[in-house]
Amino acid sequence: MNNSFITYCEINLDSIIHNLKWVKNRVGEKVKICFAGTKADGYGYGIYEVAIAAIESKVVDYLGVAIPDEGIYLRKKGINIPIIVFGNILPEFAEKIVDYDLTQTVCTYDLCEKLSYYAKNKNKPVKIHIKVDTGMGRIGVFPEDSLEFIKKVSKLPNLKIEGIYSHLSSVGRDDEFTKEQINKFFTVLKILENNNIKIPLKHLANSASIKKLPETYLDMVRPGSIIFNADLPELKQVFSLKSKVVYVKKVPKGYRIGYRGSFITKKETKIATVGLGYIDGYPFLLGNEKWKVIINDKYFPVVGRVCMDQIMVDVGNEDVKIGDEVIIIGKSKNCEIKINDIFKELDFYNFLAPSINKRVSRIYIKDGRIYKTKTMLEEISGRNRN
């Protein structure tokens, strides 16, 4: 793809739609989908563009955000689909939840009281989802306190308990603990059933659970990273990150490269400098031959310490020139680097995409063509722009 950007990422909205449809097919027609991938600026891919793709998939029933401002932003952009705020908020922000018709996660009575107060004053209902802490240790009511909490909250006017959920912390990492969490949540649901308390939406499954634990699907699932990271063969890659060679020079054997001279050339070679660094989202730990990039359909090692704005690549005697494309994440004809390859190398999940700096231009692909380009300085719309 020819363009005037030095460093840019391509976000394939068609792949997001495909992956969401795959989730729907996996969980079944009766199970709703709350797409958690709109939180944190759409996992770094662009909250509005990702939300629109999710809606266009026609399989998403809810969007999930972390904080009210994300939901408010989407409302102001004209999105009317139900939006669940996953994070606990301070009571003073309750009025915004009511004003913008957001659905709020709750685990404190003070917040419920405030939500009820504003909903009653404005003559509007407000929906809430009860969060139960079964072992994540983040937010949520303890399972043993859930019944009394729900009974107390249910008496507040204009407050509708639409959902109850928990979050599994260790799927695929600690099967025993995961079973404990599932059993705790199911015990809460059984207690509610025995007390004739009916809550429409019970949800437990996150991305890892969708892949591994069908018993957790319940009434709704919450896919997030599974949509973007595409670590199953049936899923399509959403994201690629590319840059360009900005400088090439031949250096002698024994030449020091980068901060602290941490890489020393073993022979005469060519060093290509590439126009992105750790501030753009390239992991700092992947310097000094720990990782590679693709240039002209070949792999080359990154050498020296990763700089804030640049990386150096040892290209040997290959014919690499200023302006050549450098693939950080993505594929050429015969080579490919997946985002999950980097996660495995770092043993640090989901590191790269949310860290992409706003100065890195975004190119959105839809219907197989460029749909929109976003830069730090401007947003250019147009399907045929190159």
DSSP string, 320-359: --TT-EEEEEEE-SS-EE-HHHHHHHHT-TT-SGGG--TT
Q: How many domains does the chain have?
A: 2
CATH number at residue 265: 2.40.37.10
In a domain, 369, yes or no: no
Q: Are residues 150 and 247 in the same domain?
A: no
Average pLDDT score, the chain: 93
Q: Are residues 131 and 272 in the same domain?
A: no
Q: Are residues 122 and 191 in the same domain?
A: yes
Query: How do residues 350-375 score in pLDDT, each as one tens digit?
Result: 545 666 778 888 999 999 999 899 88
Report the helix count and the strand count for the chain, using DSSP H and E. Answer: 11, 21
CATH number at residue 173: 3.20.20.10
Give the domain extent around 306: 239-349
Q: Are residues 201 and 341 in the same domain?
A: no
The model's pTM = 0.91
Q: Are residues 150 and 183 in the same domain?
A: yes
Q: Are residues 186 and 332 in the same domain?
A: no
Query: How do residues 171-199 score in pLDDT, each as one tens digit?
Result: 999 999 999 999 999 999 999 999 999 99
Q: Which residues are catalytic?
A: 39, 259
Q: Are residues 48 and 119 in the same domain?
A: yes
Name the pLDDT band for 383 (thresholds 50, 70, 90): very low
Name the pLDDT band for 210 (thresholds 50, 70, 90): very high
In a domain, 169, yes or no: yes
Q: Are strands 239-251 and 62-65 parallel, antiparallel or unpaired?
A: unpaired
Q: Are residues 122 and 172 in the same domain?
A: yes
Q: How many CA atoms lie within 13 Å of 353's alpha carbon, on the beta-carbon side?
A: 31
- Report CA-CA distances (Å) from 287 to 49, 278, 307, 353, 360: 32, 10, 9, 18, 20
Q: Are residues 273 and 344 in the same domain?
A: yes
Least confident of 28-32, 70-74, 182-186, 347-351: 347-351
Q: Are residues 281 and 195 in the same domain?
A: no
In a domain, 216, yes or no: yes
Q: How much of the chain exceeds pLDDT 90, in percent?
A: 82
In a domain, 380, yes or no: no
